[in-house]
Structure 1
Amino acid sequence: MLWVWDELSFDRMHRNGDRIYMVGSSFDADLNTIWPVAPPPIALFGKAEIPTIADACRVNHNVDGSLLVEYHAKKFNEAPSYVDPSFFSMLDFPLITGNTKQPFPDNHSVILGETLAKKYFGKDNAIGQIIQIGPEKENYTVSGIIHDIPKNSSFEGALFFPFEALNPKNKGGDDLNTQWGAFSYTTLLFLKKGADPKVTGEQLANLHRKNQPADIFEHLQYILQPLPKVHLYDFKGNEQGMQQVKIFILVGFVILLIACINYVNLVTARSSRRSREVSVRKIVGANRMHLFWQFISESTLVFVLSLVAAIGLIYLVVPLYNQLSGKELAFNLLDAKVWQLFVGTFLLVILMAGIYPALVLSTFKPALALKGVLPGLGKKSTFRQVLVIVQFTCSVVLIICTVVISRQLTYIRHKNLGYDKENVFILNQRNFKPHYEMIRDELQRQAGIHGVTASSSNITNVGSGTGDIEWEGKPASMANFMINQMSIDRNFLDVLGLKLIQGKGFTGTPADSGYVFLNETAVKAMHLTHPIGQKITFHNIPNMTIAGVVKDFYFKDMKTAIAPCILYMDASGWGGLYVKTTGKDTDKALAAVQRLWKQYNPDYNFEYEFLDDAFDKLYKADIRSGKLFNLFSGVAILLSCLGLFGLVTYTAETKVKEIGIRKTLGASVQHIIVLISKDFLMLVIIALIVAFPLAWWMMSKWLDNYVYRTDLSWWIFVVAGLAAFIIATITVCSKALKAAQVNPIKSLRSE
């Protein structure tokens, strides 16, 4: 529940969060693809011309990687954020010092997070201090300090510059605020009370078409998503992280339910031992309510003792749990939510595990109970059998879920992506760019390096797209056609192992700048029957030639269908450097790159990432879910077996004399084991029959999140069922064997 609370708390710290919306953009009427960005003018024009918009804010994080910051000869690498002044008034990120109404007095102002300010200036007053930014060492004056942005926010950053500082107009370029086609910026709108976000989105789209009536914007739609839903839902309102939150709540409840079932089973099963006690109490004057509250008090005592033990365990396991979940959860007994959880759990446990045993035990009829007759609590109690079925059903479902999640993650990791991600690391070029060809050639001569190339995007998650593409025969219905784009070096296809199914690669001549490559999906979407040699206009450059068709490759996560993609050559966009190693001498390859890094980028930290790690990051939530499911399933199976072991123990105790007589009359140990075990194992089989269709339905819904997914094979259910049955058999038979080996003479004469 600490994890669940953390997930549900995202972006809930803003007092008017229900009126703050993030703007998404779609270029097709069916909303097949929604980009979580908007062009810069939409915020300014929307606020000025649409009455329902009270305020607007634009945000851009980490434009070109980390930024060089200098103060008194000390150098730091920081990730910058560019925001409008309204960022600090719309959102509840209050300034500790500074003017909220005018946080940036000019475009050379900067606002720091509290921790960052202490890092730079120690205990000195940060306001008015001057820091140098970038290789040009531009002076920026600290105009404000804010509290560190909490971890449960969709926004991050500690170094904030005015959004207008990004505007090329400041250096003689085009005005950013008139670039209606620059869909690159996070945009937030603060709507007036009662405003309809759908209507406002329609007004924004009409406003856009009014100012830029291009064909591509014919079906443009702006979708407004409430800020508190950004973390757990997509722009269509579909569950993303919310599905996992619901699963965790369900799993937590199931584990608690299994524990409560154990308690009910064992208390009612052992009720015969207390029948005479209850009868004597009734005979000497205790009424039903006295007995009811006595048993409730006993359940409460068990709960309190368990709670004390649990608190100690929580303090021990929270660090480990944080490693598994990727969170920074803190357990604090002074937190009101923790006590709400304690009270809620107590009421739930008393309801599930306390009231029924208390009612049953308080309704004994003294005369019958003293004779040992207990109606409704026979050794074959249907109620107890149902509870055993329920808990093993839950356990088997968890096992199946664990196997399916693990298979899906394995499927993703081992699926042919259309490129080779093994032994390849990528880094931001920075000052390598002006010397790229020389550095590439030098690195390729180093031991351990198989190849070096460059591109404008990380191939595992290409986030750039354009509609600026024309070709002969393009139908009018495709005026809003969007295509993903990546600028690449001429050896990119060879180094990354992308396969050409038509055409040839780059020629190594200046003519390469006029060649483009399409993936298979783009060729199909554009209805090109003979693409090789066909001319297109791309980014307003006419007569570019389609030189080849690349076999489809995955350039986004597998929850997204492969979309059209174009590869072209434009060295100005090559921000990422790829180094493919031989695998055996990776350390030598890294050392070679680092030597050159110190030569060309001495002021920046050497940061790199292997492609397979970048790929895994796309599924980090699912990977963590898989690990946690392993843990949860283990706990559930353990608790189920503990309950089963307790019931078998009790059954063996009640059959001591029967077992003794049977053995005296010649029954074998195997016969006794079957006698004790068969009823319990039959319950486990029934649980399997119930669990299989339930697990199939749950995992089918979960796999629907993936466009490319593994199958729900029959053997998964067989393996899970056998695992549960074998565990239950070992649990039951181990106790049955012990009971069967007791000396019958001792059993018969003991009273």
Structure 2
Amino acid sequence: MIKNYIKTAWRNLLRSKAYSLVAILGLAIGLAVSILLFWGVNDELSYDTQSKDAENIYRVNAKGRTGDHYETWTTTPAPVGLAAVKNYPDVKRMARTTGGGVLVNVGTFSLYQDHVAYTEPSFFDIFDIHFIEGNAKTAISEVNYVALSNTLAIKFFGSAKKAMGKIMSIREKQLPYVVSAVYEDMPLRSSVHKNMILSLDNIRKNFGGNGSWKTIDEDWGNYNFTTFLQLKPGTNTKVLADNLASIMIKSNPAAKKGEASFILQPLSMLRLYSPDLSPDGVKTVRIFILIGVLILLIAVINYINLSTARATKRAKEVGLRRVVGADRMQLIMQFVAEFVIIFLASIVLAFILIGALVPVYQNISGKDYPIDYWQPSTLKIILWVGIGTIVMASIYPAWVLSSFKPTEVLKATFNAPAKGGWLRKTLVVVQFTFSITLIICTVVIAKQLYFIQHTNLGYNRDNTFTVWLNDNMGKHLSAVMNDIKSDSHIVDVSYGDQDFMSMSGLTDNIDWPGKTDHTAHITNMDISANFTSMMGIKFADGSGFTGAPSDSSYYLVNEAAIKMMGLKHPVGTIISLWGKPKQIKGVLHDFNNTSLKGQIMPAIFRIASQPITNGALYVKVRSAYAKESIEKMEQLYRAYAPGHPFSYQFLDDAFDDMYRREIQTTQLFKAFAGVTILLSCMGLFGLAVFSAERRVKEIGIRKVLGASVRDISVLVSGEFTTLIIIANIIAWPIAWYFTHQWLQDFSYRTSVSWWLFLLCGLVSLTIAIITVSSQAIKAAMVNPVKSLKAE
């Protein structure tokens, strides 16, 4: 029996090749895109789940006042972790980390390595790191010991075993480090993924405290360390966070009750939640789940509309089968078998499409993971998508087609009934409601991105790139800058001790006349005298550094800092940073050098003092000679740092990196909007075919009575125009709600005007009319004699 179902279904599909092709292609596109989306969602949800005690691991985030608003940071003062372990038995372990990237030299081989951490031995236990060579106790027990991931050990030395005991130099100081351990690669889907781990004693030795603080373990004023706690099950994290805040308030004179606090963020929430526990990433994941489900639903709706559009051609077949004894369940099984064949063909084509689309999807989304069809999570996605598709797409068409009565369908005058028409039209409205909503959201996201990229940020990043200094260049900074300026293609060069696009140096050790009990946090940066002028940062009051020795007696601050301090006449006022009192020489207009999602942070600048041991050169070039300038810079770099790899980054690229998620979201939304429009138009075309076939005699009569091709085309297209207008009416408020909510994440945002909704509505209406017009014209061109001969 089953063999007969399959054989008959196969013959029917071959008999209607155009229908089969459109049905298979529509389902394949829907399946491919939805499976890709669900893979991406599964990738996001799999972050930070590998540690065996993941549910009891927390990152300590600091929350503090900056002017008239509050910010939350992922870093804390170093003593927070010590206080947690010392005072609370519910804290099993703590580990503090800091770091970023370093230059590594092994013999003549040099490599800049990301994902480097300076931390404590407890880090290995908290994150359940397994060792191939060495052990957690001795891995970083000495200041010159380094632990490598297996991948890095193989890259540098050929194997984990060969790496043990080998010497490598790290950072520009060329300090010798001994490979003391090799551990299994940490999961890529980890927020704490590290390839190289060194002792925190390196920082303790080199740091030595600032101002009135003696060591990093006593320094409650600098927020430069990421602190992780492993707690006992059932620990009240809110009480623990409040208690840690109380300890900090007692230990730090600058911290005030109610304005300085901590948040314990679970490890599982690091990827998808903001430091203040706002579910920003979760919202995005939910949106993509919804898009995946709706794209699949649109593809299913297409099949339903195409299947019911063929009702008249299949009606007599159904009638004959009923006459010769087939019952309704057998007919339903026949049509389900037909769909299963279509589905199997679609899933094969979907996998082919996935193979072609994965590189594109990876490029857009920034994800880099292989296709593993046999991975349990992948099989689960395919299974659920397959079951859902088969159930949704096969039942309704099979039920409709099997419901025809043989006494009616075998009459020569039979025409497909209008029964069920409201459902088909409703489905088209649903399709276009989603498509129009997605189009509007895409346009708003793109408009916000354009606003970000073109708004006046208060500084000029054009044609400027950064080059991080090595130790030798720092020692000869003045000579290096003069050599760079000698190139006629270079406009100017300046220095900063950190990345201007983040200004991560954060402290609450700031004081000024009339300071109240409020806690205050401020970012700080050491710069060369010409930094502000080269970056195009304007002065609201006072003046900048001149390069004279007296510069060391002054600070520059931005307007946000003045607002935080409440100073009416700031220039000449003496303020203190880390216990060092100096005059304010100039007030800079506020500038947005970090994400527009947040408020402008108070900032303070000092003149950079010798000796320079780290930091970056900021080089502004003439746009027409950027390539030549970079080549000149590379030659100069190699002259001062032979054997060191040269790298640079334009500030425009750093700016784009800051909004990488928004750029990726815009590109993904554009792709998904295109897919939904394509699939919706395929569904609309199916309904147009159904309508034309059902009204063939009506059209014939109208033509006999004198109706023109244009009149009939308008008649056939009119009902679809109404459906699209209804879809717009439904979609506009939905789109406004979602875009309004999304824009709330930005402190500085674009406007959403009424004309944007109207424009998207007109575009959707135009696309729909073009889609159905060919079928409408085709129906209008049919000879009425042919359509009325049975009468």
Instruction: Report the TM-score when normalising by structure 1.
Output: 0.94
Residue 522 of structure 1 corresponds to which residue in structure 2?
561
**Which residue type is aligned with residue 18 of structure 1?**
E
Residue 537 of structure 1 corresponds to which residue in structure 2?
576
How far has the Cα of 1:368 moved from its partner?
4.0
| CA 1:525–1:372: 2 relative to 1, 3 Å | farther
Matches within 5 A, 1:441-460: 441-460=482-501
For 2:296 and 2:191, the matched residues in 1 are separated by 32
How far has the Cα of 1:620 moved from its partner?
0.4
CA offsets 1:47-94 (integer angstroms, 9 cap, x no match): 2321110111122222xx4223224x4444334321211222211332
Residue 295 of structure 1 corresponds to which residue in structure 2?
335
| CA 1:254–1:158: 2 relative to 1, 3 Å | same
Aligned with 2:55 (options 10, 14, 18):
18
Partner of 1:27: helix, strand, or coil?
strand
**Which residue type is aligned with residue 297 of structure 2?**
L
Check if 1:78 corresponds to 2:113.
Answer: yes
8 Å CA contact 2:133, 2:161 repeated in 1: no
Residue 621 of structure 2 corresponds to which residue in structure 1?
581
CA RMSD in angstroms, aligned pairs only:
2.5
How far has the Cα of 1:217 moved from its partner?
4.8
Residue 418 of structure 2 corresponds to which residue in structure 1?
378
Partner of 1:222: helix, strand, or coil?
strand
Residue 60 of structure 1 corresponds to which residue in structure 2?
98
For 2:304 and 2:592, the matched residues in 1 are separated by 52
CA offsets 1:426-477 (integer angstroms, 9 cap, x no match): 111223222222222222221111111111232222222222222222223x
8 Å CA contact 1:300, 1:350 repeated in 2: yes
8 Å CA contact 1:672, 1:740 repeated in 2: yes
8 Å CA contact 1:127, 1:142 repeated in 2: yes
CA offsets 1:587-620 (integer angstroms, 9 cap, x no match): 2221222122011122321111101110110110
For 1:494 and 1:605, the matched residues in 2 are separated by 30
Residue 546 of structure 2 corresponds to which residue in structure 1?
507
Tell me the matched-pair count. 744
| CA 1:169–1:315: 2 relative to 1, 3 Å | closer
Residue 740 of structure 1 corresponds to which residue in structure 2?
780
8 Å CA contact 1:504, 1:547 repeated in 2: yes
Matches within 5 A, 1:304-703: 304-371=344-411, 377-378=417-418, 381-430=421-470, 431-476=472-517, 478=518, 480-542=519-581, 544-571=582-609, 575-703=615-743
Residue 14 of structure 2 corresponds to which residue in structure 1?
none
**Which residue type is aligned with residue 704 of structure 1?**
Q
Matches within 5 A, 1:270-281: 270-281=310-321
Aligned with 1:93 (options 125, 129, 145):
129
8 Å CA contact 1:130, 1:139 repeated in 2: no
For 1:550 and 1:172, the matched residues in 2 are separated by 29
How far has the Cα of 1:745 moved from its partner?
4.1
Residue 145 of structure 1 corresponds to which residue in structure 2?
182
| CA 1:323–1:192: 2 relative to 1, 3 Å | same
8 Å CA contact 1:168, 1:175 repeated in 2: no
For 1:95 and 1:60, the matched residues in 2 are separated by 22
Residue 41 of structure 2 corresponds to which residue in structure 1?
4
Check if 1:132 corresponds to 2:168.
Answer: yes
Matches within 5 A, 1:126-275: 126=162, 128-134=164-170, 137-168=174-205, 175-210=215-250, 212-218=251-257, 219-275=259-315
For 2:488 and 2:76, the matched residues in 1 are separated by 46
8 Å CA contact 2:168, 2:177 repeated in 1: yes
How far has the Cα of 1:549 moved from its partner?
1.6
| CA 1:11–1:294: 2 relative to 1, 3 Å | same
**Which residue type is aligned with residue 682 of structure 1?**
T
Residue 154 of structure 2 corresponds to which residue in structure 1?
118
CA offsets 1:153-182 (integer angstroms, 9 cap, x no match): 112332211222332189999543333333
| CA 1:355–1:373: 2 relative to 1, 3 Å | farther
Residue 7 of structure 2 corresponds to which residue in structure 1?
none
For 1:696 and 1:170, the matched residues in 2 are separated by 51
8 Å CA contact 1:454, 1:578 repeated in 2: yes
CA offsets 1:539-591 (integer angstroms, 9 cap, x no match): 2112x212222111002100001122222213357612101112121122212
CA offsets 1:483-522 (integer angstroms, 9 cap, x no match): 2222221111110101112112223321111222222222
**Which residue type is aligned with residue 113 of structure 1?**
S
How far has the Cα of 1:372 moved from its partner?
8.2
How far has the Cα of 1:405 moved from its partner?
0.8
For 1:594 and 1:333, the matched residues in 2 are separated by 45
**Which residue type is aligned with residue 97 of structure 1?**
E
For 1:650 and 1:172, the matched residues in 2 are separated by 78
**Which residue type is aligned with residue 82 of structure 2?**
L
8 Å CA contact 1:169, 1:176 repeated in 2: no
**Which residue type is aligned with residue 560 of structure 2?**
T
How far has the Cα of 1:137 moved from its partner?
4.3
Aligned with 1:705 (options 741, 745, 748):
745
**655-664 or 39-48: bigger deviation:** 655-664
How far has the Cα of 1:711 moved from its partner?
0.6
Partner of 1:241: helix, strand, or coil?
helix
How far has the Cα of 1:7 moved from its partner?
1.0
8 Å CA contact 2:150, 2:159 repeated in 1: no
8 Å CA contact 1:518, 1:546 repeated in 2: yes
**Which residue type is aligned with residue 90 of structure 1?**
I
Partner of 2:644: helix, strand, or coil?
coil
List alignment gaps of at least 5 residues for structure 2: 1-37
8 Å CA contact 1:487, 1:568 repeated in 2: yes
How far has the Cα of 1:284 moved from its partner?
3.8
8 Å CA contact 1:68, 1:604 repeated in 2: no
For 1:172 and 1:257, the matched residues in 2 are separated by 60
CA offsets 1:187-240 (integer angstroms, 9 cap, x no match): 110000111111121222233345x24242544312110011101101222122
**635-644 or 377-386: bigger deviation:** 377-386
Partner of 2:217: helix, strand, or coil?
helix
8 Å CA contact 1:275, 1:372 repeated in 2: no
**419-428 or 96-105: bigger deviation:** 96-105
For 1:481 and 1:190, the matched residues in 2 are separated by 30
Instruction: Report the TM-score when normalising by structure 2.
Output: 0.89
**Which residue type is aligned with residue 77 of structure 1?**
Y
The percent of aligned pairs where both chains have the same amino acid is: 39
**Which residue type is aligned with residue 97 of structure 2?**
V
| CA 1:126–1:110: 2 relative to 1, 3 Å | farther
How far has the Cα of 1:627 moved from its partner?
0.8
List alignment gaps of at least 5 residues for structure 1: none
8 Å CA contact 2:464, 2:619 repeated in 1: yes
**Which residue type is aligned with residue 107 of structure 1?**
V
8 Å CA contact 2:319, 2:409 repeated in 1: yes
Partner of 2:378: helix, strand, or coil?
helix
8 Å CA contact 2:57, 2:230 repeated in 1: yes
Partner of 1:32: helix, strand, or coil?
strand
For 1:22 and 1:470, the matched residues in 2 are separated by 29
Partner of 1:584: helix, strand, or coil?
helix
